[in-house]
Structure formats: structure tokens, C-alpha cells
Structure 1
Amino acid sequence: MRLDEHTWTEADAADVDVALLPVGSTEQHGPHAPLGTDAFTAETVAEAAAEAYDGTAVVAPTVAVGVSEEHRQFTGTMWVSADTFRAYVREAAQSLASHGWERVVLVNGHGGNVAAVGEVAARLTRDGDCYTVPFTWFDAVGEHSADMGHAGPLETAFLRHECPELVREDHVEAAREGASDHWGEWQSHTNLAHDSAEFSENGVVGDPAEGDAERGADLLDAARDSLVALLDAVVDRDVTRPPHE
């Protein structure tokens, strides 16, 4: 159930088990993939899981600007501070909870949001606003997760499966040539680089040519199934907070 496609009376009449809030970003994804990739993937996984879930799951409108300043040198990238992002996501979840939808999953598509969504989920839960957990789709796709870069094989595969018209195939070779093999510049288990432009010529990490549409279908299936299992666990969980010892 996509919230933005229904009337308030339809939403009021729905027997909702859990609410999903997709969060992504608007940021560079190399010369071949759109700026909205992270928001699109998060929303797509959320909708696929809501459809497959054996119950009623509300999918809220996507938070499409996230913690993305690490891509600031690339035109079109938008970002907000972690404080602003946390406050926005928290208040969006609180508004869902105000309607009695007190179990919320934050469906994330951007690596830079991971710390913030974890903090928000914990705060919402501990403060008694709503039981909230974070879910990052590319961490939930089994062995594929090891290949996650940035605009590399996984995200490119996902796009080629779901919306191939958005992939600039004539720019994939340029994306490969300017890409970094891995994220960051590491010394003593510490990343010396703060921005992606420090180690990637065009913002790409990984080889987008390794992500075909068939792999994209596998990724969506894996992320959907993992999220459905999480929804079952969230809905069934006793969320009573433990007492002070």
C-alpha cells in the first residue's frame, strides 16, 4: 500500500501491520547511472516487500536527500547534515506512529545514511515513539554484498533489471575507466579520504559492467525476501522495553 496513492479515508480504513519508510539520497552515481539511484532502489525494495508481505504494509513517501556530502564535488549531488537527516526521519516516523502504525522499518539505499538510520531507530524505540528498525538492502543480498561499491556492479545490475532506460550504456566504459577498485584510501584500518573524489576520478567504485539484468533480478529477489522476513519478525516481536535491573 503506497501511502501517497491512497486517500486519507482509505488509509484510515486499512488494518496496517507495519509501516515502511524508504530513505535514499540524491547524489552522483558516475557518468552512467542517475542521481536518484539510492532513493529508487530503496523505494523499489520497500514496495516489492510490501506486496509480498502476508498482511498490510504501508510504504511512505521516500526521503530522497540524505547524508551525502562525501560526493559534494560532483554536480547535482544534494545533501543535508546528519543532524537534519536524523531529525527529519525521526519526525516522519513519529507522524506514521501517530496514526497507530507503531512498528516502522527504515528501508535504506545509501551507505552514508547507515549510521544515522541506526541512531534514529534506536532513539524512536527507546523514547517509546514507535518500535523502529533499520534495513539496508545491499547488506541483505547474501554473497552479492561483498561486491557493493558505488555505482558499481550491484547498483548497475539493479537498474538494468528494473529500469534499463535509466542506465547510460554508452557511458559504462568511461565509468569503468575512471572507477576505483575499492572505497577509500586505507592506512592502519583507517580511511584517510573523506570525499569520494579523493580516490575515484568519476565517483564510481567497482566495475559496472559486472552487473547485468539477471543479477539485478537476483538482487531484488534477495532483498525483498530478506525484508519480508524482517517484517514478520518486527510484527511478531514483543516490543515491551525491559525494566531497569
Structure 2
Amino acid sequence: MYWQDLTTKTFREEVLGRIDTAILPTGSVEAHGQHCPLGTDNIAPWYFAEQLEAKFPDRVLILPPIPYGHTWELANYAGTISVSTEVFSRYVAEVAKGALAWGIKNIVLMNGHGGNTAALNAAMEEIAEHGGQAVLVNWWIDYSRDILTVTEGQGHAGEDETSVMLAIAGPLVKMEDASFNPYTPKYRVRAMGLHDKTLRHATTGDGRTGTREKGERIVELCTARMVELLEDLWSDNLFSRKD
């Protein structure tokens, strides 16, 4: 079910006491190479949320997405909109607490943007302190091993992300403008003036090698992992154990 599509009567009769899991997509509006849409980090998590809703229509609620994130490194590229880590984290936590007030116990943060991670970790702590259980999904990180069975590399607007966009939002991708960044950082470093290397053309990796077929396979693999995550969540099987 989609939270925003329900009437308050339907919510009261069909959700309260019945559904305890909500998915909150989070992303950003930022440059993705010269070829992928500015909303790439919103399009992907929303698509994955849709797949899970289709699989479990009576067990999950999809919250309206939070489309703006923290994207300091890309702020100089045309079209990027960045909000502070503090504001983003506070907003996510407030939305999640609003869901908890209506009987939601599990909040799945379906994130599409790496720059959001620190803020989401802080929001998760606040969710936990208010009686909820929060799970963070960064699809390109959490399922990297699966993705690398399909692609040779990963990156911001790189092979994997470009491929996913070609699979789920193909008309928005301009492959004639696909870009490549030859630089790979040796250290975690921040300084003004490094953007031409850290994110040359608003890219890390090689977007030129992305294909729709690779994207379809990545989506299939990641969705299967997310289904497994929800099943583990509902069966209280979130930890592996070695005796």
C-alpha cells in the first residue's frame, strides 16, 4: 500500500493494527555524470520500493519519498540541490516518528544516495530511542558482491548505476554524453578544489560501459536481496550466528 493514496478511513480500517512496516525512500537531486538524470538517487529507491510493495502489498506501506539529501561534493554541478546533514537527519527522524505514532514498528530506509548515510545513521538512533526498529538499505553497497557478478566496476554514474538507470528509466539517460573518471582516490579526503579528480564530470568509474541488460540483472538480484531482508525482519532473523 502507498501511504499517500489511502483515505484516513481506509488507513484506520486496513492499516492500524495490521501493518507494522513502512518503507521510506530517501535520495538526492544532484548531477550524475553528464548522462544520467538529476533524480537518479530518487528514481532507484522508489523503483525498489515499488517492487517490494508489489511482492508484499498487504504487509508494507510505502511512505512518500524524501527527495533532497546532503550532496556537498556535487554542489557546484548544475542542477544539484544540497541540504545540510543536520536538517536532512532531523527531517527523516521526524517523518519516521510520525509513522511510529500510527503503529508502525519497522522503518526501512530505502536510500539512494551515499552522502545521506551519516545523517541516516543518526536518524536511525533516534528512531530506535522512540521504540521503532530502523533498517538502512544502500543498494549499491549492501549488494555490491552481487552487482560485481554483473559489472566490472561500480561508481557514481558509473557502470552499475548507469545500467540500473537504463533498465528502469531508459529515456532519461543520454548515453551519448556518458562520462569516465580516470581518477580513484587513495585516501578519504575533503578539500576545496579537488572536485575535478574526485568527481570529474560528476562521475566516479566509467558510465560508458553501462547497458540496459546489465541493469535488469542488477535490479533482479537486488530486489531478491531486499525481499530476503523483509522476510528476515519479520521472522526476527536479522543476525547470523557462528557457534
Q: TM-score scaled to structure 1, two decimals?
A: 0.86
Q: Could you tell me how far apart the structure 2 residues matched to 1:156 and 1:190 are? A: 24
- Structure 1's 144 and 44: CA in aligned 2 closer, same or farther, altered over 3 A? same
- Is 2:141 the counterpart of 1:139? yes
| Structure 1: gaps spanning 5 or more residues | 240-245
- Is 2:38 the counterpart of 1:18? no
- Structure 1's 238 and 211: CA in aligned 2 closer, same or farther, altered over 3 A? closer
SS at match of 1:22: strand
- Is 2:164 the counterpart of 1:162? no
Q: Deviations 1:7-50 (Å, cap 9, x if unpaired)?
A: 22223313313100000000011211111000111111112122
Q: Deviations 1:79-109 (Å, cap 9, x if unpaired)?
A: 1111101100000101111110121110111
- Is 2:70 the counterpart of 1:67? yes
Q: Are 1:2 and 1:47, in contact at CA under 8 Å, matched by a contact in 2? A: no
The residue that corresponds to 1:171 in the other structure is 177
- Structure 1's 83 and 162: CA in aligned 2 closer, same or farther, altered over 3 A? same
| Structure 2: gaps spanning 5 or more residues | 239-243
Superposition RMSD in Å = 2.2
- Structure 1's 238 and 171: CA in aligned 2 closer, same or farther, altered over 3 A? closer
Q: How do residues 82-231 of structure 1 correspond to structure 2 at under 5 angstroms?
A: 82-125=85-128, 127-141=129-143, 142-144=145-147, 147-172=153-178, 175-176=179-180, 179-182=181-184, 185-186=185-186, 189-193=187-191, 197-199=195-197, 200-231=199-230
Deviation at 1:224, TM superposition (A): 1.3
Deviation at 1:148, TM superposition (A): 2.4
Q: Could you tell me how far apart the structure 2 residues matched to 1:74 and 1:61 are? A: 27
SS at match of 2:43: helix
Q: TM-score scaled to structure 2, two decimals?
A: 0.86
Q: Could you tell me how far apart the structure 2 residues matched to 1:107 and 1:7 are? A: 24
- Structure 1's 60 and 79: CA in aligned 2 closer, same or farther, altered over 3 A? same
Question: Percent sequence identity over matched residues?
Answer: 27
Q: Could you tell me how far apart the structure 2 residues matched to 1:98 and 1:22 are? A: 19
Compare 83-92 and 128-137 and name the one that shifted more: 128-137
Which amino acid letter does the alignment assign opposite residue 93 of structure 1? A
Q: Are 1:196 and 1:203, in contact at CA under 8 Å, matched by a contact in 2? A: no
